[in-house]
Structure 1
Amino acid sequence: MEYRVIKENDLFLLTDTKGNIPEDHPYGLGLYTKDTRFLSKLDLKINGQEPVLLSSDAAENYMATILLTNVQTEIDGKLELWRESVEVKRTRYIYDGVLYERIQLTNYYPKQIAFELSVHMDADFADMFVVRGFQTGELGKGTGTEAADRSLSFSYLGADQVRRATSVTWDRQEQSVHENGDVFFRVSLNHGESENIRFTVQPQIGEACVTEPIKPEDALEQLKHIYKVWDQQTAKVQTDHELLQRLVDRGLKDMKVLLTDLGYGSFPVAGLPWFGVPFGRDSLIASLQMLPFNAQIAKGTIRTMAAWQGKAVDPWRDEQPGKIMHEIRYGELANTKQIPFTPYYGTVDATPLFLMLIVEYVRWTGDLALVQELEPNIIGALEWIDRYGDRDDDLFVEYHQESSKGIANQGWKDSGDSIVHRNGEYANTPIALSEVQGYVFQAKTGIADLYEALGRNEESTRLRDEARRLKSKFDEAFWMDEHQYYAIALDGSKHQVGTITSNPGHLLLSGMLDESRAEAVADMLISHKMFSGFGIRTMGAGEAGYNPMSYHDGSIWPHDNSMIILGLSKTGRQQHANQVMKGLIDSAGHFEYERLPELFCGYDSSIGKAVPYPVACSPQAWAAGAPLVFIQSLLGLFPDGVGKEIHLSPVLLDGMNELTVSNIAIGSGILSIRVERSGESDISWSVLENTTGYRVIAD
């Protein structure tokens, strides 16, 4: 990972490993909020020279620490500053919409030294879509820079007539400050002496007054308190499998930093650096993965998606009533309607996933009150599935791009080349994806259970009947007898798109498959064609569209694998699930911080390493959630908040001797479980605590 990123709520900072923001960097480095770059340049120099990197650490996500030192500088052949005399320690974090940075300078030269520290800043207020090179159009312009004692202010008037500004302050008297964004400090240090310079950077949108940031030490204490509360509210994992332990710990840290609250409760944005905004599909799946660890995240996600549920037929935004959004953007291109992301609704799976998450949330919490609160949203989503999702009344939910600036493929594999026939031809729309039909089946049967618990038997019966008819027609239309597998999709002519892919693996979770076909799907997924040794590929090796370096046609996505793992576990195929988990765990050792990325290349593990995908987001919410699914799978943990039951069938990975998971919030109480290996193959487990009021059933 050639960048460092920290985030808190809706503000994130993306820099190079030295902590700088060079102009025109290929990753579009900067300080961002609301899809706008509020700092586009940040360079630190000593005597006009860029320092040397010693170490760079952003393991905590909310705080980065970077160590630098100076190069040797001379004037006319005379020594000005001996190399490695100054240690530069940059510490930065974000709290309450403000970036705090402390630059600590320490003299390790045996005598007193004097040098010039300079910081160079600029703000271009570029829209995220412009930064990424995806869009050009009518844009605003800078309205000036103001330099004053211990402060700089950059300002901009957007094409949307919204004023944006960046206020930078520091706590030490400078030698000089210039309107081009350059600040110079003259520093003199005795041997062993240190001096700190503290900066704050605060974005401003609109005419609201910039409030005085709280003291840096107070901000840091408040930030640590937030993380302490999060830790107290989240389930804990302890295992002697060291790499799995690190993966889970990293996943929880990443999930926390990706949380944002738009006023309806905390929910995970998709990922950094490019997708730090609400995403229907990504946020919903990440919340599903989080349920055993903190179910309240699902509640915040559900309410956020409900607040933005489609209300009208708007082809520009691919919107229809009841539809759950795909993505929302806040920059000037969105505000001036030059892009349709206000929000954009071009996703076929977010609506059934919304219903699935409601069902699973209630199974973990028993919170039927949320079902009653969101009844209009549930009805709207069900009506969208039947009226707008099923475009031709064939029982299948299909997608077709209406917006001229929308997305062509509207499942989770949304790149333009992802739905391809076995002869290499791309499928024509409308397209019905296999996994989406499973999501619809799971949503309807799950909502039927909730309606039955609320005494609404007629509606429950209707939904179950619709699900049964869907299952029957799905098997007839999607099953490929010659391959003993399901097609990824039906194209616009109702022909099977027969390429072997990972998509049908999601059907295992739905409860839609007969036993024999579930077995065939599971076996295909761990075959050499699909399983690389590090994970299940998105497309099978040898298929016409297969490319291990591609985004969706042969790569490995941890979240995709996690959905399959959960389905394998739910259908009792734990040996298959363990094989996939082991592969992903082995892959993690090849990535920075042993963090599973958004995706990686699908090369066979026999080459000896997992090959990174060059522009994968990291951290990414549903990749962070994948190791959390491993824990649920190993426990075989599936609660039923309606029936007041907890189903358990714990196992361990090979080479793993103990697993303790405590503080699992279920119902109105807590469940804690310990699993141990007492012999080479003997696994025993015990419930350490159960205040849920639910009955534990060993499956």
Structure 2
Amino acid sequence: MAYGLPAEDTAATAPATAAGHARHALKDGDSFQVCDAAGDIAGAADGLYRDGTRVLSRLVLRLDGEAPVLLSAAVGRDNVFFTAHLTHRPLTPLGASAGGDVIHLERTRFLWQARLFERIACVNYGEAPAQLRLEVGFAADFRDMFEVRGAHRAERGRMHAPAAVDGGMLLRYEGLDGLLRDSAVVFSEAPQTLAPERAVFALQLPAHGRRELYLEVGAEPARPGRARFRHAAAQALRAMRRRRRSGARLRSSGRLFNAWLERSRADIALLVSKLPTGPYPYAGIPWFSTPFGRDAIVTALQTLWLDPALARGVLAFLARHQAHETSAFRDSAPGKIMHETRKGEMAAMGELPFGLYYGGIDTTPLFVMLAGAYAERTADDAFVDELWPALLAATAWIERSCDADPDGFLAYARGQQGGLVNQGWKDSADSVFHADGGEAPGPIALVEVQGYAFAALHAMAALAGRRGEAAAAARWRARAQALRAAVERRLWDEALGYYVLARDGRGAPCRVRASNAGHLLYAGLPEAARARRVIEQLRSRAFDGGWGVRTLAGDQPRFNPMSYHNGSVWPHDVALCAAGMARYGARAEAVRLLAETFEAAVHFGMRLPELYCGFLRAPGEPPIAYPVACLPQAWAAGAVFMLLQACLGLHVDAWRGEVVIDRPQLPVGVDRLLVRELEVAGARVDLAFERVGGRVLAARTGGADVRVVARL
């Protein structure tokens, strides 16, 4: 997803980090920070961001004029604290005497309520007193996120001269939008020297002595100190634990698999912001830490079986921001669901359309799909009643759009220059093309989008039937069947034995084999025989290089394993393909894809990135990282839960008050899995899955009020 970049750009234009130098991210609400392993904010995309603006572009620590030596760094399992362990000079060779002073520094950092809190603890492990000159350099460039990503602005606002405040410095920028954006960098003790971009402290450390220095960065000055640090840290921890405890709990017999589950859950909790409409997962850090429509819907679908609260929050937010007017600049039309929203200066000034942008062809049918899935999962008819006007408007937009297309498809064309050229999930400028590699003119009808529209119409038919609106239900079912027939007639290519990528504006098929057809399986559109042929190809070496399904088969034009959308591997894409395979009975294939994705996760420290390169797997070698991928990314973190559900064959029907388990399988290396406190229509049930010989058995271990139907 190029997510809000101008059409001529792609994610590859984002500043790259140095190879081998890990970045560490923290987030709270609409603020996030990215730093290097030493805790320094020192360039590229590093920074502290608030409401789409980088409010701290430099924060570096030096000891006696030198960068300290890194021992280790990590973000804790709870995703609240970043900690870096450093020393003032390299450790001695093995067996040699340490000699002299030995200084250890621990930098502990977290975000809470749009403020960065940091504690710098210095300990002298030497036998003699030590003197240190500790310098903290800081700066704020107040650049909009799009500027950080490479966008050029003809004019910027005005930087104010830094002003000294009690214990630190106030940095200020007045934007073209008239807003003053402030960053106060303040310390727990007065610096020996305070300059506009640095503070210097002279530390006296007795033998085995300890000193702590606290700093905060926020919109207003404060009085940093131990008590404030501890109080804010406790609040941040409690808030994170509340988010992590939402929904059912999973525990398996596999230690590493549990670690993946826990990290994925923690990453989703990190990215979820509590909005007035409910919890909402922001897409990813650093480029997309804001509400996106498509990403949030897919994340909600991935986790729906475990935690319907997230889906409810996503639906409520998107319904509130549904379009009510037509705008070519914003690609909006009445009934459309937003693609993204931004708060930065450039969006506020209308330099780009992404303040509230609707240029996503698939978000609207996905919204309706999620509403139908949420209703079946929860039987929350009262909430569906609240959503009904938004669902009617969204479906009306789908129907109007299909009626305007010669094939009855849901197609897109960019409204104005500056919007997205391609408006499916593969929205980089080069992601839709013909078999000769040539461009595909719009309006473009993507194959997977027709599946989403088909599923949305069926969802509306089911909801209307439940509301007693039989005529509307019958009409939507008929439209869904007509769309299915059109897809099978126009988008299936018998010579390829596969669905084409798209149909272009001239009516010509893009005869390209891409992973998009796997989403068509997820929607349940293909007839069974064709679905089997699609599954066979998705499992071939052309698509699956050993780390999951690639976005493009290896023998296709424009294939490049290092590209953003034309040969890379996206975990959420793999999960949707696996769920589609399982829908057509290919559960063993879903297990295999889960195993490959798990093995990739192990190499990535149990945190799957937004995407990784699609090179063929080589014995003993890890998957190849994509340098500017978001990490964490919500729908990458959610992939494991959709993959696991596909393997278990688990489906919740709250209208019937039952859980259906169809021919379950467990991941490779996992012999037992427990699902605790799965909520079904107000009751809770515990489930256990266990491998016995060549079979996987499923049983209820608690919750007598829920009916469990197991087809083993």
Do Structure 1 and Structure 2 share a fold, with TM-score over 0.5?
yes
Letter of the structure 1 residue corresponding to residue 468 of structure 2:
G
The one-character-per-residue Cα deviations of 1:469-521 (angstroms, maximum 9, x if unpaired) are 11111100001111211011101111111111100111112121211111111
**Residues 422, 428 of structure 2: 8 Å contact kept:** yes
2:597 to 573, 584, 609: 584
Match of 1:78 in 2: none
Gaps of 5+ in 1: 73-80
Match of 1:203 in 2: 219
**How do residues 182-261 of structure 1 correspond to structure 2 at under 5 angstroms?**
182-203=198-219, 215-261=228-274
Residue 169 of structure 1 and its aligned partner are, at CA, apart by 2.1
Match of 2:564 in 1: 551
Match of 1:62 in 2: 80
**Residues 503, 510 of structure 2: 8 Å contact kept:** yes
Aligned with 2:336: secondary structure? coil
Match of 1:288 in 2: 301
**Residues 70, 83 of structure 1: 8 Å contact kept:** no
Match of 2:138 in 1: 121
Residue 631 of structure 1 and its aligned partner are, at CA, apart by 2.1
**Residues 698, 710 of structure 2: 8 Å contact kept:** no
Aligned with 1:91: secondary structure? strand
Match of 1:539 in 2: 552
Letter of the structure 2 residue corresponding to residue 191 of structure 1:
A
For 1:502 and 1:636, locate their aligned partners in 2 and report how far apart those are by CA, in whole Å.
22
Letter of the structure 2 residue corresponding to residue 677 of structure 1:
R
Match of 1:331 in 2: 344
2:185 to 158, 168, 182: 168
2:615 to 598, 603, 613: 603
Residue 58 of structure 1 and its aligned partner are, at CA, apart by 1.2
Match of 2:360 in 1: 347
Match of 2:671 in 1: 657
**Residues 660, 673 of structure 1: 8 Å contact kept:** yes
**How do residues 158-557 of structure 1 correspond to structure 2 at under 5 angstroms?**
158-178=175-195, 180-203=196-219, 215-388=228-401, 391-392=404-405, 394-557=407-570
**Residues 700, 708 of structure 2: 8 Å contact kept:** no
**How do residues 625-644 of structure 1 correspond to structure 2 at under 5 angstroms?**
625-644=638-657
The one-character-per-residue Cα deviations of 1:406-444 (angstroms, maximum 9, x if unpaired) are 110100011111112111112111100011010011111
The one-character-per-residue Cα deviations of 1:28-60 (angstroms, maximum 9, x if unpaired) are 210001110110110111112111111110143
For 1:487 and 1:84, locate their aligned partners in 2 and report how far apart those are by CA, in whole Å.
68
Letter of the structure 2 residue corresponding to residue 90 of structure 1:
R
**Residues 588, 665 of structure 2: 8 Å contact kept:** no
Match of 1:8 in 2: 28
Letter of the structure 2 residue corresponding to residue 122 of structure 1:
A
What is the aligned length?
Answer: 682
**Residues 168, 190 of structure 2: 8 Å contact kept:** no
Aligned with 1:215: secondary structure? helix
Match of 2:155 in 1: 138
2:62 to 27, 45, 59: 45
For 1:138 and 1:391, locate their aligned partners in 2 and report how far apart those are by CA, in whole Å.
41
Letter of the structure 1 residue corresponding to residue 235 of structure 2:
Q
Match of 1:667 in 2: 681
**Residues 667, 692 of structure 1: 8 Å contact kept:** no
**Residues 597, 617 of structure 1: 8 Å contact kept:** yes
**How do residues 12-27 of structure 1 correspond to structure 2 at under 5 angstroms?**
12-22=32-42, 25-26=43-44
Letter of the structure 2 residue corresponding to residue 38 of structure 1:
V
Residue 655 of structure 1 and its aligned partner are, at CA, apart by 3.1
Aligned with 1:606: secondary structure? coil
Letter of the structure 2 residue corresponding to residue 123 of structure 1:
A
For 2:531 and 2:179, locate their aligned partners in 1 and report how far apart those are by CA, in whole Å.
54
Residue 697 of structure 1 and its aligned partner are, at CA, apart by 4.8
Gaps of 5+ in 2: 1-20, 91-97
For 1:138 and 1:537, locate their aligned partners in 2 and report how far apart those are by CA, in whole Å.
41
Moved more, 670-679 or 374-383: 670-679
The one-character-per-residue Cα deviations of 1:212-268 (angstroms, maximum 9, x if unpaired) are 998221111112212332333232221123332222111101100001133211111
The one-character-per-residue Cα deviations of 1:250-296 (angstroms, maximum 9, x if unpaired) are 11011000011332111111100110001111111011111122210
The RMSD of aligned alpha carbons is: 2.0
Change (3 A) 1:248 1:84: farther
For 1:251 and 1:231, locate their aligned partners in 2 and report how far apart those are by CA, in whole Å.
10
For 2:560 and 2:625, locate their aligned partners in 1 and report how far apart those are by CA, in whole Å.
14
Change (3 A) 1:83 1:324: farther
For 1:313 and 1:210, locate their aligned partners in 2 and report how far apart those are by CA, in whole Å.
46
Change (3 A) 1:231 1:277: closer
Residue 210 of structure 1 and its aligned partner are, at CA, apart by 8.4
Match of 1:76 in 2: none
Residue 399 of structure 1 and its aligned partner are, at CA, apart by 0.6
**Residues 101, 130 of structure 2: 8 Å contact kept:** no
Letter of the structure 1 residue corresponding to residue 613 of structure 2:
C
For 1:40 and 1:537, locate their aligned partners in 2 and report how far apart those are by CA, in whole Å.
36
**Residues 310, 320 of structure 1: 8 Å contact kept:** yes
For 2:67 and 2:529, locate their aligned partners in 1 and report how far apart those are by CA, in whole Å.
64
Change (3 A) 1:242 1:84: farther
Residue 641 of structure 1 and its aligned partner are, at CA, apart by 2.5
Aligned with 1:317: secondary structure? coil
Letter of the structure 1 residue corresponding to residue 556 of structure 2:
E
Residue 692 of structure 1 and its aligned partner are, at CA, apart by 5.6
Letter of the structure 2 residue corresponding to residue 17 of structure 1:
A
For 2:704 and 2:479, locate their aligned partners in 1 and report how far apart those are by CA, in whole Å.
37
Aligned with 2:288: secondary structure? coil
The answer to whether 1:105 aligns with 2:122 is yes
Aligned with 2:455: secondary structure? helix
For 1:331 and 1:495, locate their aligned partners in 2 and report how far apart those are by CA, in whole Å.
40
For 1:463 and 1:221, locate their aligned partners in 2 and report how far apart those are by CA, in whole Å.
51
Aligned with 2:590: secondary structure? helix
**Residues 235, 661 of structure 1: 8 Å contact kept:** yes
The one-character-per-residue Cα deviations of 1:43-97 (angstroms, maximum 9, x if unpaired) are 111112111111110143221000111138xxxxxxxx98872111000111122
For 2:28 and 2:121, locate their aligned partners in 1 and report how far apart those are by CA, in whole Å.
23
Letter of the structure 2 residue corresponding to residue 124 of structure 1:
D
Aligned with 2:219: secondary structure? strand
Change (3 A) 1:630 1:692: farther
**Residues 398, 431 of structure 1: 8 Å contact kept:** yes
Identity of aligned residues (%): 34
For 2:230 and 2:434, locate their aligned partners in 1 and report how far apart those are by CA, in whole Å.
59
Moved more, 602-611 or 484-493: 602-611
**Residues 413, 444 of structure 2: 8 Å contact kept:** yes
Residue 590 of structure 1 and its aligned partner are, at CA, apart by 2.1
Residue 644 of structure 1 and its aligned partner are, at CA, apart by 3.1
**Residues 645, 697 of structure 1: 8 Å contact kept:** no
For 1:223 and 1:430, locate their aligned partners in 2 and report how far apart those are by CA, in whole Å.
47
Letter of the structure 2 residue corresponding to residue 3 of structure 1:
R
Letter of the structure 2 residue corresponding to residue 189 of structure 1:
L
Residue 199 of structure 1 and its aligned partner are, at CA, apart by 1.1
